[in-house]
A and B are shown apart, each in its own frame.
Chain A
């Protein structure tokens, strides 16, 4: 089975910072990868699909890149609404999540 490893598991940052979250797949099987944002008590929200395609309605400060086994999610300038947990997903497997906290 494919394993998805995200790092860091926790990230402390300030409003206005540029942050990057990495997701590594245990094997290279697809160039497709999705990123989700989840806030407490809410369902995950799709941000990025096919590694770099921005879902409709998602702010352009979110971007995704990568291929093979390593993918990244970048938030160019953190806004207060961005503090949440982020998950990557490939095939039927999700990463463990990265909690983005206010510094």
Chain B
């Protein structure tokens, strides 16, 4: 069974860069899309962006080019960097397998990690 696990700091200072990593196990990382999705407390889900194993990426325009997603297929990890964070970036961050090529859905999710932006 495929499993995803997010890791990274739970507290980031305003104006700094948020960095998270997702480790994929129980299945291949190649030939799939992988997304980051976040959920501010009490709010709905917001897609951040995806990466394909070739390295091609696409991001939510609302993040105004602050997000960067990268992948290391040899380690079965993909990562998110979000620069110039503010309190509005406080959220639970999820990584997920993205099946936009097969039906446009997210079928496997990490457990999520809460990132708080505060000085």
Contact A96 B105 (CB under 8 A): no
**A66–B99 CA distance with the chains assembled, in angstroms:** 20
Contacts of A49 in B (CB 8 A): 99, 103-105, 107
**A93–B111 CA distance with the chains assembled, in angstroms:** 20
Q: What band does the interface of chain B fall in when counting residues whose beta carbon is under 8 Å from A?
A: 10 to 19
Q: A43-B94, A43-B109 are known contacts. Are A93 and B103 too (CB-CB below 8 A)?
A: no
**A90–B47 CA distance with the chains assembled, in angstroms:** 11
Contacts of B60 in A (CB 8 A): 92
Contacts of B107 in A (CB 8 A): 46, 49, 55
Contact A89 B103 (CB under 8 A): no
Contacts of A42 in B (CB 8 A): 111-112
Q: A43-B94, A49-B99, A92-B60 are known contacts. Are A34 and B44 too (CB-CB below 8 A)?
A: no
- Quick one: closest B residue to A94, CB to CB? B45
Contact A34 B103 (CB under 8 A): yes
Q: What band does the interface of chain A fall in when counting residues whose beta carbon is under 8 Å from B?
A: 20 to 34
Contact of A89 among B106, B109, B110 (CB under 8 A): B106
Asked whether any CB of chain A lies closer than 8 Å to the CB of B53, the reply is no
Contacts of A53 in B (CB 8 A): 103
**A92–B94 CA distance with the chains assembled, in angstroms:** 14
Asked whether any CB of chain B lies closer than 8 Å to the CB of A32, the reply is yes
Interface residue ranges of B9-35 to A (CB < 8 Å): none
**A91–B101 CA distance with the chains assembled, in angstroms:** 11
- Quick one: closest B residue to A92, CB to CB? B47
Contact B104 A87 (CB under 8 A): no
Asked whether any CB of chain B lies closer than 8 Å to the CB of A16, the reply is no
**A46–B103 CA distance with the chains assembled, in angstroms:** 12
Q: Which residues of B contact A (CB under 8 A)?
A: 44-47, 60, 94, 99-100, 103-107, 109-112
Excluding A45-B109, A50-B103, 5 further A-B contacts by CB distance (< 8 Å) are: A43-B94, A44-B94, A46-B106, A94-B45, A96-B44
Pairs A-B, 4 closest by C-beta atoms: A34-B105, A43-B109, A92-B47, A49-B105
